[in-house]
Amino acid sequence: MKNIVCWGGLLLISTQAMAADMACSKIAGDSERLACYDQSNKLPVIVADLPQVTAADKAAAETAQKAEYEKIQLERLGSGMVDRWELDPNKSTGVFLPKVYKPTYILPITYTSSVNRAQSLPAANFDPANAPQLSAAEAKFQISLKAKVWEHPMGLDANLWAGYTQSSRWQIYSPDLSRPFRETNYEPEVMMVFHTPYEIFGWQGRIASLSLNHQSNGRALPLSRSWNRIIGEIGVEREDWSLSLRPWWRIKEKIGNDDNPDIENYAGRGEVLLTHTMQRHVFTLQARHSLRSGANSRGSMQLDWAFPLGTGVHGYLQLFSGYGESLIDYNFKQTKLGLGISLVEWR
Q: How many CA atoms lie within 13 A of 115 on its CB side?
A: 13
Tell me which of 40, 120, 216, 321 is the catalytic residue: 216
Tell me which of 214, 276, 281, 289 is the catalytic residue: 214
Q: Which helix (DSSP H) or strand (DSSP E) does residue 198 occupy?
A: strand 181-200
Question: Strand 241-251 vs strand 203-216: parallel, antiparallel, or unpaired?
Answer: unpaired
Q: How many CA atoms lie within 13 A of 159 on its CB side?
A: 25
- Does residue 214 carry a catalytic annotation? yes
DSSP of 117-132, one letter per residue? TTTT---TT--GGG--
Question: What residues form DSSP beta bridges with 135?
Answer: none
Q: CA 97, 101, 107: angle at the middle one, nearest 5?
A: 125
State how far the Cα of 12 lies from the Cα of 19, in Å rounded to an integer: 11
Helix (H, G, I), strand (E, B) or coil at 32: helix
How far out from the chain centre does Cα 286 lie?
Answer: 16
State how far the Cα of 105 lies from the Cα of 178, in Å rounded to an integer: 24
Q: Which residues are catalytic?
A: 214, 216
